[in-house]
Structures are given as structure tokens and as C-alpha cells.
Structure 1
Amino acid sequence: MVNIADELKSALESLVSGAGDIVATTRNVTKDNVVGLLRAGGEVAGASLGMVSQVVSNGVSAVSQVGGSVTNGAKGLVSGAVSAVSEVGGDVGEAALEASKGTVRGASSVGADVGEVAVSSVEGALHAANEIGSDSGHLATKAVLGALNAADEIGSEAGGIVRKALLNAVALPHDVIDALLTGKTE
């Protein structure tokens, strides 16, 4: 597996001083790495998309290690992963789900705020949807589900933090989030 952590660390070192855009850098490095991995694997199927979560989790660790904002990095990581899967013709919804899982798991492992990272992950999925011309509601739904699944796996406290953060985030589509959290649709 390509070592995204090393590549991200190298790319982000210039950003620590504030001389660059962490979202764009994490997005571009993630996209390049995921495209390479999926093309090397040949078939873009569910099993190969599962590696997206691990790649993104490693990316969170790299951002943290160089002193970057894990919250901002999460947006770029998810956006890059979804864009990469789109480029190789894969299921972008599953990519959003797996990438969001990876950011929340990664945030938990480095002690970052899982709620803020979950919100940024959904923002990253929305950014990718706009960029690739995909259904933003579908990608937001998948990203929310991925973040919730990962948070619930971590524990009930993390699950509660993520739910509260998603419900309180002004920039997210509340109809999607409310429906997922309550099971009710309008």
C-alpha cells in the first residue's frame, strides 16, 4: 500500500508555517494515492473501496503529526478520496462512507475532536459532490452514515459527540441529518 502518511507529511511540512492550504493539499495527495491504489488493484469493488478508510485514517495521523488541523485535513481527505473513486469509475457513495469512517477513526486515535472531524468529513463529501457533479444529498447521507458508524464503534460517548456535532452544524443539510438520526423523512 502506498504510504500516504509519508507523502502527506512531506507535502504538509510547508503548511505548518501557514504558507498553504491544508484542505487542498490533503485533497490532492489523497486523490493521487487512492487513484494509484485502485488502478493497481484492477477491480474497483467493495473490497478495494474498504482500503479507502485505512488510507484516510493514515492521512489523519499524518496531518496530526505535522501539527496541522485535523479538522481541516478531514475535509480534504474525504474530498480527495471521493474524487479519486469517481475518477476510476467506482461507487462514490461507498467512498464517502468509507472515507468518513476513516477520518473519525483517525481523529479518535490521535485525540482530535471526533465531532468536528465528522462535520468536516460531510463538508468534504459535499465539496466532492459539487466538483464531480454527483448527488450531494446521496454523498452527504453516506458520509454521515460513515461518521456515525465509526463513532458508534469507538463508543457511546463518541457516538453522542458526533450526533450532536452533526445536528448543530450550520453548513450541513439538516433534512438529511435529521432523517438519518431520527429515522423520519419529510
Structure 2
Amino acid sequence: MEKQQDVGLLESVKDRIVHAIEGTGDVTGAMVNAVSKTVARAIEGLGGIATSLVHTIADVVQGTIQAVMAVGGDLGTAAKSIVVGVLRGAKEAGAANLQTIGQTAESVIKTTARMSGDLGTAAKGLVEGAIQGAKELGLDVTKAASAAAQGALNAAGEIGFEAGETVRNALTGTIAGVKVVLREPFNSMAKPRNLTPSRRNREEEIP
């Protein structure tokens, strides 16, 4: 039953986004509205908000990116619209926060990678969306940008070293007037693990 609901949500999002892109000049605004309405409606029917919201975001992200790439839309604009739309839709449930931004960013990067999209373009769009959404909702703009960047980096690190480097390069410096702060844990996720330091530590602990 849950799988059927997921498929229904996914197809619904795809249809709305395709119509939004094909039927209006304001593509960004149309995508934001489609995403926010879908998230808001889905949240209304959720029980366990924390877990269910993650699944809802994943479905919305997948449907949006599939639709955008199918009609040749701009991936950066899509990523930006997704973050703004998710934050608006989650606002009523009190879930428009940094954690939601990070989860959305992870989902966008993973979906983009599965569809062989441009990870750098998507990552930059995510941060731009986080900045715009934070300004609208009164969140800390710098923290919001960093949450999106870190979510994107974490997802890219799980995909592989090349993906991680692509995303990190795209996010280095200032985006939309905000300095993006990247944390180091990404390095250990993206690069092959080196067990030597931990072995050395264990040897030092031996009397």
C-alpha cells in the first residue's frame, strides 16, 4: 500500500512539474509552487512526521528531477526550486529547518547522480535555494547555505571520490553573496579510508 502511495506521489509530482515547465514563462515560480503544494499536502496526511517527511522529500525530489531532465529543463533551477518549495511546504508542520535542508540536498544529489545529471550545477542550485528559502522563513542564511552544501557533499561522498570532488569544487567560495562553509568530515567519506592512523593509535595505547 505504501509503495503504491509512493508511486502515486512520484507520478503526481512529475506531471505537475512537466505542466509547470511547458505551460508557463515563470518556470522557477511554477516549480516552487508545485513542489511546495505537493509537500504540504503530503505532510497533512503524515503520522510519524520525521521519518515520513524524509520519504516524501525523496519522492518529490525524484519526480521533479526526472521531469526536468525529461523536458530539457535547467538542473540548477530545479535544485534551487526544490529546496525553496520543500521549505515552504514544510513550514506549516514546523519542519522548515536546517535538517530538512540537508536531507533535501542529499536526495537531490543522489537522484541527479542516478540520472547522470551535472552534480556541480545541482549542488550550486541547492545552496542558492537554501539561501532564498532561509531569507523567506527567517532562518540563519549562512547556516542554511552550509546545511545544503554539507548535505550535497555527504551524498556525493557516498557516491564516490570523483562525485565528491565535483561537488566540492562547485561549492568552493561565495554563492549568492554567502560564504559557504564546508566541514572536513566530507574528506574521510569521499577518499579511500586509511586505517594507518587508527592502528598507530592502538599501538600507542598498548603498555
SS in 1 for 2:95: coil
Give the superposition deviation at 1:168: 4.5
Are 2:135 and 2:141, in contact at CA under 8 Å, matched by a contact in 1? yes
Instruction: Describe how 1:82-97 pairs up with structure 2 within 5 A.
Output: 82-97=87-102
AA partner of residue 48 (structure 1): S
Q: Distance in 2 between matches of 1:126 and 1:118?
A: 13
Equivalence for 1:103: 108
- Number of residue pairs aligned between Structure 1 and Structure 2: 176
Q: Distance in 1 between matches of 2:19 and 2:45?
A: 23
SS in 1 for 2:49: coil
Where do 5+ consecutive residues of structure 1 fail to align? none
- Between 93-102 and 105-114, report the one with greater CA deviation: 105-114
Are 1:49 and 1:94, in contact at CA under 8 Å, matched by a contact in 2? no
Q: 1:32 aligns with which of 37, 45, 51?
A: 37
Q: Which runs of 4+ in 1 moved over 4 A?
A: none
Give the superposition deviation at 1:54: 3.2
Deviations 1:11-61 (A, max 9, x none): 22225xxxx12221111111000111111113422x122121332132111
Q: Distance in 1 between matches of 2:149 and 2:102?
A: 7
Matched, 1:177 2:186: no
Are 1:22 and 1:73, in contact at CA under 8 Å, matched by a contact in 2? no
Matched, 1:69 2:69: no
User: Which of structures 1 and 2 has the bigger CA Rg?
Assistant: 2
Equivalence for 1:5: 14
TM-score of the superposition, structure 2-length normalised?
0.77
Are 1:96 and 1:143, in contact at CA under 8 Å, matched by a contact in 2? yes
Instruction: Describe how 1:147-166 pairs up with structure 2 within 5 A.
Output: 147-166=152-171
Matched, 1:56 2:67: no
Equivalence for 2:192: none
Give the superposition deviation at 1:99: 1.2
TM-score of the superposition, structure 1-length normalised?
0.85
AA partner of residue 30 (structure 1): V
Deviations 1:100-134 (A, max 9, x none): 11221222222221011101101101111111112
Where do 5+ consecutive residues of structure 2 fail to align? 1-5, 187-207
Higher relative contact order (CA closer than 8 Å, sequence separation 6+) = 1
